[in-house]
Copies of this chain bind each other. A is one copy, B any other.
Amino acid sequence: MAGVLVNKHKVTSFDVARVAGVSRSTVSLVLSGSNAVIIAEATKVRVREAAIQLGYTPNSAGRMLASGATKTIGLIISNPELLLVDGFIPPTLYAITKVANEHGYNVLTEGLPDLNNDSAFVDLVSSRRIDGMIVLNPRTHDRQLEALIERNYPVVLMGTINHPKEITVNIPTVADLTQAVNYLYKLGHRKIGHVALSAGGSSATDYRIRVIRLALQKHKLELPEACITYANFSAESGLVAGRELLTRNNGVTAVLAGNDTIAIGLMRAARDLGKRLPEDMSIIGYDDLPLAAYIEPPLTTIRTEPLIQGEIAARLLIDILQGRPLVSRAVDLKSKFIVRGSCKAV
Interface residues of A (CB under 8 A from B): 5-8, 55, 57-62, 64-65, 70, 72, 75, 80-81, 83-85, 89-91, 93-94, 97-98, 101, 106-111, 113, 120, 122-129, 143-144, 147-148, 151, 153, 234-236, 238-239, 261, 264-265, 267-268, 271, 277, 290-291, 293-296, 298, 307
Contacts and interface: CB of A to CB of B under 8 A. Distances in A.
A6 B147 contact: yes
Given A57-B126, A106-B124, 11 more contacts: A65-B65, A80-B97, A98-B111, A101-B111, A107-B109, A235-B293, A236-B294, A264-B294, A265-B294, A267-B294, A295-B296
A110 B97 contact: yes
A60 B127 contact: yes
Contacts of A80: 94, 97-98
B58 A61 contact: no
11 contacts: A6-B122, A6-B126, A57-B126, A59-B65, A80-B98, A84-B94, A97-B110, A235-B294, A238-B294, A239-B294, A296-B296
A58 B107 CA distance: 21
Contact of A62 (B65, B153, B293): B65
Given A61-B65, A234-B290, A265-B294, A111 B97 contact: yes
A282 to B, nearest CB: 16
B65 A93 contact: no
Contact of A108 (B108, B153, B290): B108
A285 to B, nearest CB: 12
Nearest to A119: B5
Contact of A127 (B58, B98, B291): B58
A127 B57 contact: yes
A125 to B, nearest CB: 6
A151 B8 CA distance: 8
Nearest to A153: B6
Pick the most buried of A84, A122, A125, A294: most chain B CB atoms within 10 A of its CB.
A294
Contacts of A126: 6-7, 55, 57
A76 B168 CA distance: 29
Given A6-B122, A268-B296, A129 B106 contact: yes
Contacts of A264: 291, 294-295
Contact of A107 (B59, B70, B108): B108
Among A62, A123, A128, A291, chain B packs the most CB atoms within 10 A around the CB of A291
Given A61-B128, A294-B265, A83 B91 contact: yes
Q: Which of A61, A90, A108, A235 has the most CB of B within 10 A?
A: A61
Contacts of A127: 57-60
A264 B289 CA distance: 12
B89 A90 contact: yes
Contacts of A91: 83-84
A112 to B, nearest CB: 10
A108 B105 CA distance: 11
A57, A81, A298, most chain B CB atoms within 10 A = A57
A215 to B, nearest CB: 28
A62 B294 CA distance: 52
A123 to B, nearest CB: 6
A239 B277 CA distance: 21
B113 A147 contact: no
